[in-house]
């Protein structure tokens, strides 16, 4: 396709759809027109990908995740289709700015943070690697809340992302399935004496799938992300005549739970979990049966992945379908289930380990509960007398009136992986140690990754251009080729070009900050970024205390030789997470204080950008000089913003936590600022119970000065919140060792300040960060899942019957 043809088709489609000329059309109409050209161009390949999988009896993986966080899809689809440049230029010639159309698309925010974003990076990578893999999740009516600041407090507004429709999805009514919720179940012998379940009462939910094409990077592969929407089945209409009844029914899957780390423990959440699990597993079995292959071989056709424990009921639902519906013996079904299932653990924090009360589970999905009971009974029966009695008690699925979802996922699958080396080691040695003793072969590591296409090619076109000119374009397909950049670490022209790209990105972020917050920041200053959910363990507070220290130091000595710095935060707090919201309030108040204080001559600025989401991340990350990855060691499973930021040339200041350890290994100690307790030292404190925050406070006058600023009126309008945070540190003994790491953190910050003053050295460090980021591509991650866990292969690994070439693009 050439530009001329594109312009012609675009004008024709606009005329067909809206009976309009370009000059009359609104941005929304232009956006709809472009989207419709795109979906009709890739839908043939979507159908063909689907057909090829079927005709080749291709084994497929199904990634079950209660969250997906794709952000906007317009540019990413254009890039992957090979259309981006052509469309940008073609539109420009029609007097249309592509970026104006991008603004129309709402962020698809059906996730809270890292977990959902990982699932979406995987969707991009699975398709881009040509792997047969699908997503399975929930089509929430409302995505993650929109965050506003009112009087420096967080306020949550609903995210009505579907209001103007969704271009990319296709409703597939004919693929709907019913899900049974509630009621009673008992087992009754049939004429042959086999027990079958009899259901009484309860209700039927209709699950209707909405499919979204996952377009691979210039390879003509289009996979499917299937999101289930809840509807009232026609035969149940009578029960939902009243508006109230209808509303409470529809509410079941209408909102995403806005907490990323605390289990809600609510009946609605459990219903959501069973709803998308049952619908997804049923549709997999329906497809498999249409292939007419022996049921015993289903593990050669399907791999089901349980992303965190929310879909752990896949284990029991698969058993239910094989045993109850397909009349398979328990033993055969169990063998197949474990071969089909695999599980990723994402956290080691106790409050995030999901458990459901027996009563609630009996209430929501009684048959599933019976099956879990039987799995648990057999688990004990098999091990009793063979294994240590206490170990069996600790690893049971059902204990103390609760169903432990991680136990179900581990026992019912063949693979359990962590998401970074350190995390996977901690699973084996501490958190899941008992299971490791039982099943050492099931444990493995898959370090997280990020979709390089979105996080460099789209987010950072300025740097991408420099990379193309310096090392050629192969890095766009193979991220390991970023290493070629190391050949240029002494090349001033390249160092300057990269710095110029960074400067451009900083200027445009500065303009965004000016227009959205009214704060003037200089692009000459260090842009120091901490963007992630607001959580005590992520320690935004440590960052804040350092900022307060710098401020107080500058007040004392305005000539203090520090580089001007702009501290940038982006973070949402769960609406019910009181402490996290207090931190937001205090950061905002400190910002108001500092930004208005002319005596510090603009040396410090503090900006908290509202409504952190994928699109905002794409703006901030290319402009970052410093990446804050300062969680308490052992708490962050992996992190992925650490990867996005290093890729874009930011220098990391980090604890040895999650994937930071591997980033350090990748760049070497001279190109990262490491500080703080190690995970071993943290565990020592837990064991010896000998951490006393108050001693640090009483001994260290700097800590005293900074912490007192929270309660002595230095910072206005935080009487309550300042006291609350002060108490968390002093009275409640500083659960996340903020004060313990403070001095070391300040020293690391000082070394960052010094490194920045040596411009050439700083630019070299930045280059080395980008050059060594290739290993954190999610293409690498999903390839490892495909090889080691799912045993799936690319569609045309053996034959190339569709004649696809590596750089194929789409015809109109």
Ligand X SMILES: *Cc1c(COP(=O)(O)O)cnc(C)c1O
Residues in contact with ligand X by CB under 6 A are 113-114, 117, 532-533, 613-614, 617, 639-641, 644
The verdict on whether 538 is a catalytic residue reads yes
Catalytic position from the list 269, 428, 532, 549 = 532
Catalytic position from the list 640, 714, 770, 781 = 640
Nearer to ligand X, 147 or 766 (CB): 147
Nearer to ligand X, 98 or 617 (CB): 617
The verdict on whether 117 is a catalytic residue reads no
Shortest CB 115 distance to ligand X, Å = 8
Q: What are the tokens at 520?
A: 């003037």
Shortest CB 455 distance to ligand X, Å = 9
User: Nearest-CA neighbor of 419 among 394, 390, 450?
Assistant: 450
Nearer to ligand X, 68 or 790 (CB): 68
The verdict on whether 565 is a catalytic residue reads no
Question: Please, which residues bridge with residue 304 across strands?
Answer: 62, 341
Shortest CB 424 distance to ligand X, Å = 17
CB 405 within 8 A of CB 274: no
Nearer to ligand X, 471 or 632 (CB): 632
Shortest CB 638 distance to ligand X, Å = 7
Nearer to ligand X, 67 or 721 (CB): 67
Q: Among all chains, which residue has been given the structure tokens 């996979």?
A: 223
The verdict on whether 585 is a catalytic residue reads no
Nearer to ligand X, 117 or 362 (CB): 117
CB 147 within 8 A of CB 155: yes
Longest dimension (CA), the chain: 92
Buried b (16+ CB within 10 A) or exposed e, 153-165: ebebeebebeeee
Q: Among all chains, which residue has been given the structure tokens 């007419």?
A: 292
Nearer to ligand X, 502 or 533 (CB): 533
In this structure, the strands spanning 203-215 and 177-181 are antiparallel
The verdict on whether 344 is a catalytic residue reads no
Shortest CB 543 distance to ligand X, Å = 13
Fill in the DSSP letter of residue 142: B
Distance CA 471, CA 249 (A): 56
In this structure, the strands spanning 68-71 and 108-110 are antiparallel
Distance CA 339, CA 790 (A): 9
Distance CA 222, CA 214 (A): 5
DSSP secondary structure string, 712-742? SSSSTT-HHHHHHHHHHHTTT--TT-HHHHH
Nearer to ligand X, 548 or 643 (CB): 643
User: Nearest-CA neighbor of 504 among 547, 542, 462, 561?
Assistant: 462
Nearer to ligand X, 442 or 644 (CB): 644
Shortest CB 459 distance to ligand X, Å = 10
Distances (CA, A) of 773 to 77, 493, 618, 640, 715: 23, 21, 17, 12, 40
CB 378 within 8 A of CB 319: no
DSSP secondary structure string, 767-793? HHHHHT-GGGBHHHHHHHIIIIII---
Fill in the DSSP letter of residue 313: T
Distance CA 446, CA 423 (A): 10
Shortest CB 69 distance to ligand X, Å = 6
User: Nearest-CA neighbor of 118 among 345, 277, 274?
Assistant: 345
Q: How many C-beta atoms lie closer than 10 Å to residue 489's C-beta?
A: 14
Print the SS3 string covering 158-198.
CCCCCCCCCCCEEECHHHCEEEEECCEEEEEECCCCCEEEE
Nearer to ligand X, 533 or 605 (CB): 533
Q: How many C-beta atoms lie closer than 10 Å to residue 610's C-beta?
A: 15
Nearer to ligand X, 75 or 644 (CB): 644
Nearer to ligand X, 417 or 540 (CB): 540
Catalytic position from the list 423, 538, 572, 763 = 538
Catalytic position from the list 220, 269, 396, 533 = 533
Shortest CB 87 distance to ligand X, Å = 25
Distance CA 408, CA 356 (A): 12
Shortest CB 420 distance to ligand X, Å = 11
The verdict on whether 533 is a catalytic residue reads yes
Distance CA 647, CA 769 (A): 6
Catalytic position from the list 644, 768, 775, 780 = 644
Beta strands in 655-791 (DSSP E): 673-674
Distance CA 409, CA 407 (A): 5
Query: Residue 403: what are its φ and ψ, rounded to 5°?
Result: -100, 120
Fill in the DSSP letter of residue 450: B
Distance CA 31, CA 520 (A): 32
Shortest CB 417 distance to ligand X, Å = 17
Nearer to ligand X, 497 or 614 (CB): 614
Shortest CB 12 distance to ligand X, Å = 37
Q: How many C-beta atoms lie closer than 10 Å to residue 622's C-beta?
A: 29
Residue 797 half-sphere exposure, CB side, CA atoms within 13 Å? 15
Burial class for 313, CB neighbours closer than 10 Å (0-12, 13-18, 19+): buried
Distances (CA, A) of 272 to 169, 170, 231, 475: 20, 21, 13, 41
The residues annotated with a catalytic role in the active site are: 346, 532-533, 538, 640, 644
């Amino acid at each position: 396709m050439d530009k001329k043809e594109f312009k012609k088709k675009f004008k024709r489609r606009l005329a067909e759809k809206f009976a309009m000329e370009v000059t009359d059309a609104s941005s929304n109409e232009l956006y709809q027109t472009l989207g419709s050209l795109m979906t009709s161009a890739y839908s043939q390949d979507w159908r063909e990908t689907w057909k090829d999988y079927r005709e080749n009896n291709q084994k497929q993986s199904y990634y079950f995740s209660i969250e997906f966080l794709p952000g906007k899809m317009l540019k990413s689809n254009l890039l992957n289709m090979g259309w981006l440049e052509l469309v940008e230029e073609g539109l420009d010639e029609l007097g249309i700015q592509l970026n104006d159309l991008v603004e129309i698309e709402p962020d698809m925010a059906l996730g809270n943070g890292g977990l959902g974003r990982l699932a979406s990076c995987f969707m991009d990578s699975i398709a881009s690697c040509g792997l047969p893999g699908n997503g399975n999740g929930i089509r929430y009516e409302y995505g993650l809340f929109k965050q506003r600041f009112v009087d420096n407090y967080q306020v949550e507004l609903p995210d009505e992302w579907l209001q103007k429709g969704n271009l990319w999805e296709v409703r597939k009514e004919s693929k709907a399935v019913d899900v049974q919720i509630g009621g009673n179940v008992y087992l009754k012998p049939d004429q042959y004496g086999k027990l079958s379940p009899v259901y009484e009462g309860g209700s039927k939910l209709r699950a209707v799938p909405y499919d979204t094409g996952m377009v691979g990077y210039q390879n003509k592969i289009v996979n499917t992300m299937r999101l289930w929407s809840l509807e009232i089945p026609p035969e149940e209409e009578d029960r939902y005549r009243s508006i109230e009844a209808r509303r409470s029914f529809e509410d079941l899957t209408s909102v995403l739970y806005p907490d990323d780390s605390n289990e809600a423990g609510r009946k609605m959440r459990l219903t959501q979990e069973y709803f998308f699990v049952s619908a997804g597993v049923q549709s997999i079995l329906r497809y498999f049966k249409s292939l007419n292959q022996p049921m015993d071989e289903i593990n050669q056709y399907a791999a089901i992945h349980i992303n965190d424990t929310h879909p752990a009921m896949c284990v029991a639902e698969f058993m239910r379908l094989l045993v109850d519906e397909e009349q398979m013996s328990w033993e055969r079904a169990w063998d197949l289930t474990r071969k089909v299932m695999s599980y990723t653990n994402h956290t080691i924090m106790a409050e995030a380990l999901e458990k459901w009360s027996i009563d609630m589970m009996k209430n929501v999905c009684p048959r599933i509960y019976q099956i879990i009971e039987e799995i648990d009974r057999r688990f004990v029966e098999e091990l009793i007398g063979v294994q240590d009695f206490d170990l069996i008690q600790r690893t049971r699925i059902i204990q103390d009136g609760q169903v432990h979802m991680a136990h179900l996922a581990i026992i019912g699958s063949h693979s359990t992986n962590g998401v970074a080396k350190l995390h996977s080691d901690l699973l084996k040695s501490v958190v899941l140690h008992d299971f490791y003793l039982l099943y050492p072969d099931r444990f493995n590591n898959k370090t997280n990754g990020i979709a390089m296409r979105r996080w460099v090619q789209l987010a950072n076109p300025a740097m991408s251009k420099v990379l193309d000119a310096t090392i050629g374009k192969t890095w766009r397909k193979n991220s390991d080729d970023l290493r070629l950049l190391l050949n240029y670490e002494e090349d001033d022209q390249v160092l300057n070009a990269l710095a110029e790209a960074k400067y451009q990105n900083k200027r445009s972020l500065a303009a965004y900050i000016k227009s959205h917050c009214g704060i003037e920041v200089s692009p000459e200053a260090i842009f120091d970024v901490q963007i992630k959910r607001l959580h005590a363990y992520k320690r935004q507070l440590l960052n804040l205390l350092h900022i307060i220290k710098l401020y107080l130091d500058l007040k004392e000595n305005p000539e203090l030789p520090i580089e001007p710095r702009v501290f940038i935060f982006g973070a949402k707090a769960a609406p019910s997470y009181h402490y996290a919201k207090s931190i937001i309030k205090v950061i905002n108040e400190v910002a108001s204080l500092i930004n208005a204080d002319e005596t510090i001559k603009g040396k410090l600025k503090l900006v908290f950008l509202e409504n952190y989401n994928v699109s905002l991340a794409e703006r901030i990350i290319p402009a970052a000089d410093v990446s804050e990855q300062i969680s308490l060691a052992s708490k962050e499973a992996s992190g992925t913003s650490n990867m996005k930021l290093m890729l874009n040339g930011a220098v990391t200041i980090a604890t040895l936590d999650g994937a930071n350890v591997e980033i350090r290994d990748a760049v070497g100690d001279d190109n990262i600022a490491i500080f703080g307790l190690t995970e071993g030292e943290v565990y020592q404190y837990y064991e010896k119970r000998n951490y006393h925050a108050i001693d640090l406070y009483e001994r260290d006058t700097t800590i005293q000065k900074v912490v007192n600023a929270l309660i002595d009126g230095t910072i206005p309008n935080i009487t309550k919140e300042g006291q609350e945070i002060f108490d968390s540190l002093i009275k409640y003994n500083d659960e996340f060792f903020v004060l313990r790491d403070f001095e070391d953190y300040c020293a690391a910050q000082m070394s960052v300040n010094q490194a920045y003053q040596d411009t050439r050295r700083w630019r070299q460090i930045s280059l080395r960060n980008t050059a060594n980021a290739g290993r954190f591509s999610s293409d690498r991650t999903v390839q490892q899942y495909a090889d080691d866990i799912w045993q799936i292969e690319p569609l045309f690994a053996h034959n190339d019957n569709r004649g696809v070439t590596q750089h194929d693009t789409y015809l109109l």
